[in-house]
Each structure stands twice: as C-alpha cells, then as structure tokens.
Amino acid sequence: MNDQIQRFKVLSAGVLSLILMMGIARFAYTPLLPIMQQQAGLGVSEGGWLAAINYLGYLCGALIAALISDLVIKDRLYRIGLVVAVITTAGMGLTDNFWLWSWLRFFAGLSTAAGMLLGSGLILNWLIRHNHRSELGIHFSGVGLGIALCAIAVELMSSYVDWRSQWLILTLIGALILIPAWAWLPSPDTAAVPSSSGAMADAPPSRAFMRLFMVAYFCAGVGYVISATFIVAIVDQLPGLEGKGAWTFMVVGLAAAPAAILWDLVARRFGNLNALISASVLQIIGILLPVIEPNLIMSMIGAILFGGTIVGIVSLVLTMAGRYYPTRPAKMMGKMTLSYGVAQIIAPAITGLLAERSGSYSDGLYLAAMMMAVGTVLLLLLKALERSEIKVLKPTPDRA
C-alpha cells in the first residue's frame, strides 16, 4: 500500500508540475492576451513576438536538457524551473514594459522545458526503478488540466479584476501548486540502471526517414502553436462569439487532459504512424471549423478536436523515440524538439504580423491548417518509406 501511495504522489507531482510550468507559466498568456491588448496596450504584432520569445526560451531549455545526463543536475534544474515559473508569472503583472515582458516570457519558456522534459525524465526514471509501468500518459494530462485551469480562472476573474491582478492571482495559485510538485517527487536514485535494461537495443530509422519525420514534426509545431497561442483572441474576433474565447480554451484543455492515454491505445491497435496521421487529419478539421462555420457549436467541436490531438501527437512522437532508441531516447527527441521548437518561434511572429496587416487572425489559422496538411502528406510518405525499408531489411530465404 505504501508503494502505491508513493506512486500516486510521484505521478501527482508530475501532473502538478505541468499545471504550473506548462499551464500557468506558459498558457495563462493565451486567455490573457486579448485582455492585455485591451487594457495594457499590447499591440497585435507585439503579442505574437512575446509568444515567439516564449518558445525561444522553451527551445533553449530543451537543448540544455538534451545535453544533461546527470540525474542530480536534472533534479536541481527541475526544481529551479518550478520557482522560475512562479516568479515569471508574477513579473507579468508587475510591469507593462514590452522588453521586461520579453525576458519574462523567455524564462517562462525555460521553466516549461524543465517541466516537459526534465520532469518527465525524472518521473519515468522513478517509475522504472520501482518496477511500475511508464505512466507518462497520466503525467501529460497536466498540460490539458493546466490549460483548463487558466481558462476557467481568467473567465471568472475578468469581470472583477484587471489584467495585472489576474496575473498575480495566478501567481498565488502557482505558488500553492509548487509545494506538492516539489515535495512529492523524491530525489533521484543514482544507482546503476537495473540489469534488465541491458537486453534493450537501439534500432534507429534511416536518414531519409528521420529527415522527413523532422519536417513533418515542424509542420505539426506550426499547427499547434498558432491555435494554442491565439485561439482565445481568434474566437473573440468571430462574429457572434465575442467573449467566448476563454470557454473555447477551457474545452481545449479538458479535451487534452486524457488525450495522451487515448492515443496510446489507438497506436497499440493501429500503429504509431497510423495514429499520427489520424491525429493530424482531426487537428486540421479542428483548426478550420471556427473560421469555416463561425458559431459556438463549431468552435467547441473544433476545440475538442484540437485539444484532443495536440498532446497526443507529442506523446506519439515520444513513443516512437523510445521505440527507435530505447537505451537513449533523448538522441532522437533532441532532433525532434529542435524541429518542433523552431516552428514555435517562427509561426507566432508571422501570425502576429499577418493579423496586424489584415486585422484578423483567420489568416494564421489557414496557415496552420495548410502546414498541418503538408505534414500529413509527409507522414503518408513516411508510412510508405517505412514499409519499403522493412521489405529491404527482411531476410531472404536460404536457397542453399
């Protein structure tokens, strides 16, 4: 029983860390963006640049995480990330200077990387060493729960307090979450890896496969970041949907919470690439529904499809990294994160500029859907390439 209680506390620490470092530190900005534009004088293109800078911070954090192998250092940086998430959230409400906001969003991105990459690795390490199944699907539910929490909080607060107070209230919530997220994750065990892991062997894909996969994941990064960053502002601009953006974002979060677990089940039955292709097609539909048919029902259906696929795509790619490199999954994830991260830096800035020129974020959604369509075609090519490579590698019968 004590072991199960400890497992529950470790998994809860992971979920709470993502609610803080991904949900509050990163995604509180999305529902607060239109409010800051109205009350704090934040420009449309400036809003895009702040999102891009946040992702630059995440990318830098991801690259740092990929270079670190010492569990003690990872644990230390994870805990620093928890504190940085709270500090940067508070800072957003204590200034209206764009350059200070930029630095705060950059460091918030670093803390997000600590939660997504270092925290995931530490929790997976603990589970393996204590003979538990790798329940990262539960861990990644923190992303969706964090999104939903921020959306609900902003919606409830908006009628009573201004943008500054909302950031500070979210800081208080984050500070409370920090306590169990810190305390419930034990210090890492630095003893040798169990001998059973010696049976694992890497089976990397071909260079052609990896190149196509990285471009496809870049496209997925564009599709994800545009909608995830601007969805509240987008929905609020649609005729008849003013003020409904935060509720749409809440639905995205609630749909994202169980998504990793559900897509793992789909992948087990139909294969990882088939699951990725299905998730990509559904995400394209989810991105386009609010602009093709701008009403509340279509926006909510779009939010469900989008939320139900963004975390699923990331978790499926993580699964594939583990399949190709079971002894060192960070080798592949470093490359994939670079591709995904570059997309997340470029796309928000471009979307902000497009919105400033046209007065609407709709062009950004069309760009996201177009890039996702390109990525889906590349995934279909990957499927054909994988089949041909398996056929080539299949041993021929001995004719002797």
Give residue-wise pLDDT tens across range 297-334.
888 898 899 999 988 898 788 767 766 765 565 567 66
Q: Are residues 178 and 316 in the same domain?
A: no
Do 7 and 83 have their domain in common? yes
Joined tokens for residue 304: 């469900």
What is the token pair recorded at 373?
């369509």
Could you give the count of Cα atoms lying within 13 Å of 393 in the half-sphere of its Cβ?
10
Reported as a single tens digit per residue, the pLDDT across 144-173 is 899 889 989 998 998 899 999 999 999 999
Which letter, b or e, does each residue of 326-352 get, where b requires 16 or more Cβ atoms within 10 Å of its Cβ? eeebbebbbbbbbbbbbbbbbbbbbbb
Domain endpoint, select from 131, 164, 187: 187
Q: Are residues 267 and 180 in the same domain?
A: no
pLDDT score at 52: 84
The 10s digit of each residue's pLDDT in 206-233 is 888 888 999 999 999 898 888 877 777 7
Number of domains into which the chain is organized: 2
261/138 Cα distance (integer angstroms): 7
Are 174 and 20 in contact, with CB atoms under 8 Å apart?
Answer: yes
Decide if 283 contacts 316 (C-beta within 8 A): no
Does residue 158 belong to any structural domain of this protein?
Answer: yes
Check whether residue 224 and residue 368 sit in a common domain.
yes
pLDDT at 135: 54
CATH number at residue 154: 1.20.1250.20
Global confidence as pTM: 0.80
| Cβ partners under 8 Å of residue 73, min gap 6 | none
User: Structure tokens of 319?
Assistant: 């699964």
Give the residue numbers spanning the domain of 119: 1-187
- Is there a domain that residue 129 lies in? yes
List pLDDT tens digits, range 287-307: 888 878 877 888 889 889 999
Whether 192 maps to a domain, the answer reads no
**Six-digit token string for 188:** 């890492």
Q: What residue type is assigned to position 52 of the chain? A: A
φ/ψ of residue 103, rounded to 5? -65, -40
The verdict on residue 291 lying in a domain is yes
Instruction: List the structure tokens of 79.
Output: 């805990």
Residues 35 and 105 in one domain: yes
Whether 65 is covered by a domain: the verdict is yes
